[in-house]
Amino acid sequence: MAEAFFDREYTCPICKTTFKSPAVRSSAIYVEKKESDFHTVYRGVNPLYYSVIVCPVCEYAASSNTFNNELPGKTAEQIALALSQLKSEKTPDLCKERKPEEALYAFHLAIRSSQLKKAPPGEIAGLLLASAWIAREIGNQQLEAKFLKEALNYYVEAFSSGYNIPNLNELQLIYLIGELNRRLGNFKEAISWFNRVITHKNIKNFPAIEKMAREQWALAREEMQSCKNDDTPSLNETEETENHAPAAKSDTPGLKTAFPGENKTGKKARPLMQMPAHLYEDQIEWLRKIASQYTIKNKTFTREETLRAVLDALIESIGSPAAFNFSSEEELKNKIRELLTR
């Protein structure tokens, strides 16, 4: 199918190598169907496999739209050093036609590069979601679920932080968070996010998304009920959900939403609440480093779980914060430090 491709030239912003990588001609692209999490299924050549460009010398990787973008000098130097230490001895040739497994590896390299350059969470989320799509296409359900979970975490972070995500408007993002939750078996969370779409003040301007949200809302309820009937719930129940589809409201619901608690220790399930928070860059990096030390193979430990563990340890250490008097973030930090050193 060589006639389906043509070569594009790129210059690596890290090592300055100029090389060519294949792109798919628009005339060779045939859409077969679109799935509920925006995955497009193609007949024949899949352009997704070629949407990430990989430098054959240093293995810097990024989307075809952004690969040639220059990076700040210090950032490029730091990435170059990291990539030299991480370079694999047996990297496949990604400057030719790609098999699905090779495309998945290209996305792996792009995720790594994005993390090294501290890209916005929405950018990393998109790469993870595309990786999940490829894993689905090759029939690897375990790997698909892993990528979906990681993508979900980054999309929620992007939504909470107000980051712009290319090709996704606000309603599409909220819908997608709901759909990823549904696919992961988090049915109550999915219903909550679909509710936000359906009751959004601008929903009537996006009838296609409203239709999808209502359909997936109903499907999530059906799937949740099926789990109850089979006595194999995928999550712990903490509140009753309305038995009818929500009517449209004039404004967006608040961000405070009840989530089901995990019950892995035999203790009473603790309800989870979503609270969007803006953290400092060094705080997020600290959480990432702690989470990366998780030792169970083929599973991930999220920054959210890390933060919950830290807060639990803090609560257990200082008890009830009844006598706190403070007038700034820095003063509160000092108060907590004093209590911890007593």
Question: Which pLDDT value is given to residue 244?
Answer: 37
Are residues 191 and 241 in contact, defined by beta-carbon separation less than 8 angstroms?
yes
Is the pLDDT at 143 greater than 60, yes or no? yes
Per-residue pLDDT band for 258 (boundaries 50, 70, 90) equals: very low
Is the pLDDT at 68 greater than 70, yes or no? yes
Of 312 and 25, more confident: 25
Per-residue pLDDT band for 56 (boundaries 50, 70, 90) equals: very high
Question: Which pLDDT value is given to residue 263?
Answer: 40
Are residues 62 and 10 in contact, defined by beta-carbon separation less than 8 angstroms?
no
Per-residue pLDDT band for 242 (boundaries 50, 70, 90) equals: very low
Is the pLDDT at 172 greater than 50, yes or no? yes
Average pLDDT, integer, range 68-82:
92
Question: Which pLDDT value is given to residue 135?
Answer: 96
Question: Which pLDDT value is given to residue 237?
Answer: 35
Average pLDDT, integer, range 113-132:
95
Of 124 and 315, more confident: 124
Are residues 125 and 161 in contact, defined by beta-carbon separation less than 8 angstroms?
no
d(CA 174, CA 194): 7
Which residues, 6 or more positions from 22, have their beta carbon under 8 angstroms from its beta carbon? 5, 6, 7, 8, 50, 95, 96, 97
Question: Which pLDDT value is given to residue 316?
Answer: 79
Taking all residues of the chain, what is their mean pLDDT, rounded to a whole number?
Answer: 82
